[in-house]
């Protein structure tokens, strides 16, 4: 696996927005763009696409069936099969037969996949720290809780989480 150095720090804040400063929409959009940019940096440093990074993050604590993974990613099963094929070739993911459905295949991380997921998380934590480091521990906990509640929402919007 080729590993490149992750450049330090978050990208510069975007220029003035047509949305009024302080609006919820503006804050969410700017935060989303910044987070995606940082995740893309971390992924690129390990020769991964953003979607491959998402797969590793999803598989950190579960072994879903391929169909469940496709739904979670919001992708067609054929697209997910290609992602998993590439991850299997890199030694990051393994396929196993499902215990509850003989036709289904479950996917999970290998030891190398788990190690890489831990590394990716640590690198992202380091890059996001300048954005959250000035918040008190209570504010960081509150932000985390609010984000989880927001994303839990009343319904799952198309498996985008």
- Could you read off the pLDDT of 45-57 as tens digits, one per residue? 999 999 999 999 9
- Could you read off the pLDDT of 90-102 as tens digits, one per residue? 999 999 998 888 7
Integer Cα distance of 112 and 25 in angstroms: 39
- Could you read off the pLDDT of 141-158 as tens digits, one per residue? 999 999 999 999 876 555
Integer Cα distance of 70 and 75 in angstroms: 5
113-141 average pLDDT score: 96
pLDDT of residue 102: 77
Integer Cα distance of 80 and 75 in angstroms: 7
Q: Over 80: is that where the pLDDT of 133 sits?
A: yes
Report helix, strand or coil for 148: helix
Please give the structure tokens belonging to residue 25. 């929409």
Domain spans, the chain: 24-152
Percent of the chain with pLDDT over 70: 82
Is-contact 113 63, C-beta < 8 A?
no
pLDDT of residue 11: 53
How many helices (H) and strands (E) the chain has is answered by: 6, 2
Beta strands in 42-154 (DSSP E): 93-97, 105-109
* Region 24-152: CATH code: 1.10.10.10
Q: Count the helix, strand and coil residues of the chain and give each as a percent rounded to the nearest 5.
A: 55, 5, 35
- pLDDT band for position 138 (cuts 50, 70, 90): very high
pTM of the model: 0.76
Average pLDDT, the chain: 87
- pLDDT band for position 161 (cuts 50, 70, 90): very low
């Amino acid at each position: 696996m080729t590993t490149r150095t992750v450049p330090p720090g978050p990208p510069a804040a975007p220029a003035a927005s047509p949305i009024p400063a302080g609006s919820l929409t503006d804050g969410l959009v700017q935060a989303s763009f910044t987070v995606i940019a940082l995740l893309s940096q971390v992924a690129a440093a390990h020769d991964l696409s953003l979607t491959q990074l998402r797969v590793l993050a999803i598989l950190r604590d579960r072994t879903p069936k391929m169909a469940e993974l496709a739904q979670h990613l919001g992708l067609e099963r054929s697209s997910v099969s290609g992602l998993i094929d590439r991850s299997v070739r890199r030694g990051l993911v393994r396929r196993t037969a499902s215990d509850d459905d003989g036709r289904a295949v479950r996917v999970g991380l290998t030891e190398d996949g788990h190690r890489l997921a831990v590394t990716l998380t640590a690198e992202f934590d380091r890059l996001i720290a300048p954005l959250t480091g000035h918040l008190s521990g209570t504010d960081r906990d509150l932000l985390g809780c609010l984000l989880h509640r927001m994303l839990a929402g009343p319904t799952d919007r198309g498996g985008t989480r």
